Amino acid sequence: MDVTTPSLERAIGIELYLTKTPGIGGKIRERIDDFCVEEITNRREGAEGRYLIVELTKRDWDMHHLVRTLSRALGISQKRFSWAGTKDKRAITKQKMSIWEVGAEELQRVNLPGVELRVIGRSNKKVALGDLWGNNFQIIVRDMDTPIEIVRERVKSITGEITLAGGVPNFFGVQRFGTLRPIMHLVGEALVNGDVEKGALIYLAKSSPQEPEDTRTARDDLLKTRDFKLALKRFPTHLRFERAMLNVLARDPVDYVGAFRAISVELRKMFVHAYQSYIFNRILSRRLKMGLPLTSAIPGDIVCFTNAGLPDISRIQRTTDDNVDGINNLIHKKRAFVTAPLPGYDSQFAEGTAGEIERYIIDEMRIELDNFRISNMPELASKGRRREILSSVLPVTTIDQAVTLRFSLSKGSYATIVLREYMKK
C-alpha cells in the first residue's frame, strides 16, 4: 500500500491508501457543476399534511444561508424548515426539504438565483436525518498533469482495486475536522480531557494558512496577548461562533465554560465527535497497516448487521471461532460489516488481534474513557458507538479530457475518501 499521504490527512489520522496504483492528480470543483450530489431517501409523500414537502435543487448555496434567505422571502421562522443532510456549498445538490404550514402557492414569492423548489406533496412527518439513506455523486476531476492515456490506465487499475476490495476504508473525511482549519478534533480532545481553556484557545486562536490574512492576524495576536476585548474588535464579523465566545470572555476572561455555552450544543458536540472520528481513523489506519481485512471478520471482531440494506450499529455481535464462517458469509452478502470504535465512556472493544489494535491506539493516545462523561459540560457526554470500517462503493468512470466519477455512498460516508484513492493528492 502507498503510504505517501499528504500531511493534512496524516493530521486527521488517515495514514495510507487502500490502492497501490499511482494517482491521477488533478483538481475538483473547478466549476460549480463539477460536483453534483443527489440525496437517496425512501420517503413517500402524500397529498395532505401540515408539512409542505419540496425537492430543493441549489447551486452554490450554503444551506444555512439559504434557509435564512428563504425564511425572509416567505416571512416565516427558520425553525419551520427541516432537511435530512447538509450538502456542499460549491456544488449542485438535490434533496428533500419540509416547510411547516406553508401553501404551495406561497413559493411563487421565491425567486432566488441558483435555487429551484419543486413541490412533491405534503406530510405530517417532517424531513429529518433518519430519512437520509445516502447520496449519489457525480464528480469531475480536471487539470491532470499526466497524459490522458496514462490517466485511463490508472483509473482502470484503481477502479479494479476498489472493486476487488469491495469498497474503500470508511475514513472520516477532512470536512469532519474543518476543511480550511482542521482543528475540531483538537478542541474535542481538550474538552474531553477537561482542559476547557486549552480548547477555547485552540478554537479561537489557532490560525491556518488557508484563512484570509486579517483572520490569521487576529487569531495570532489573540494567542499572544489573551486580550479578548481587543480580539472582539478585530475578529471579522463572519466568525459568528468565535465572536459569541469572545463576547463572554471579554466580560469574564476565565469563563471558558460559559464561552463554549454561548454557541449551540450541536456545534459543541461536533468537537467531541471530531475527536472520536480522529481516533477511529487512527484505529482503521493501523488495522490496514497490520494487514487485517476490510471485507471479512476474524475472531474477536465486532460486526454490525444491516437494516433495510444499511449498516445498523444498534445490532452488533462479536465474532468467535464458532460463528466466524457464518458471519463472513453475511459480510460477503453485504448483510453485515466489520466495525471499529468511536470511543466513549461505555465503549465495547473487539478482542483478539483486532482488540489489540484498538487498545494500542487508546493506550498510545493516553485516552481515559471515563473522561468522555465531560464533567464540566455533561451535555456533551458520549457513551461511544461502533462504525463500519468499509464504505461499499463501486465507482463508474468516464474519461475524456477530464475524469467523471459516479458512485453512491451510504449516509455518513465521504466522497472525498473515494476521490483521494484516484487523485492521491
| Cα-Cα end-to-end distance for the chain | 15
User: Which residues are known to be catalytic?
Assistant: 88
pLDDT at 371: 98
Cα distance between residue 291 and residue 279, in whole Å: 19
Phi/psi class of residue 13: alpha, beta or left (left: φ > 0; alpha: ψ in -120 to 50)? left
* pLDDT tens for the 425 residues of the chain, in order: 444 788 999 999 999 999 999 999 999 999 999 999 999 998 999 999 999 999 999 999 999 899 999 999 999 999 999 999 888 889 999 999 999 999 999 999 999 999 999 999 999 999 998 888 899 999 999 999 899 999 999 999 999 999 999 999 999 999 999 988 999 999 999 999 999 999 999 999 999 999 999 999 999 999 999 999 999 999 999 999 999 999 999 999 999 999 999 999 989 999 999 999 999 999 999 999 999 999 999 999 999 999 877 899 999 999 999 999 999 999 999 999 999 999 999 999 999 999 999 999 999 999 999 999 999 999 999 999 999 999 999 999 999 999 999 999 998 999 999 999 999 98
**Stated length of the chain:** 425
pLDDT at 2: 46
Cα distance between residue 185 and residue 175, in whole Å: 11
For residue 291, how far is the Cα from the chain centroid? 26
Task: Find residue 39's DSSP bridge partners.
Answer: 135
Cα distance between residue 57 and residue 374, in whole Å: 40
Closest CA to 292 of 1, 20, 13: 1
Cα distance between residue 231 and residue 223, in whole Å: 10
Q: Show the cell assigned to 199.
A: 480548547
In DSSP notation, 236-264 reads -TT-HHHHHHHHHHHH-TT-HHHHHTTS-
pLDDT at 179: 87
| CB-CB neighbours of 365 under 10 Å | 13
> Could you give all domains of the chain from N- to C-terminal order, each with its CATH number?
46-126 (3.30.70.3160), 280-391 (3.30.2350.20)
pLDDT at 1: 43
pLDDT at 85: 85
How far CA 211 is from CA of 161, 178, 216, 219, 264, in Å, comes to 36, 12, 6, 10, 23
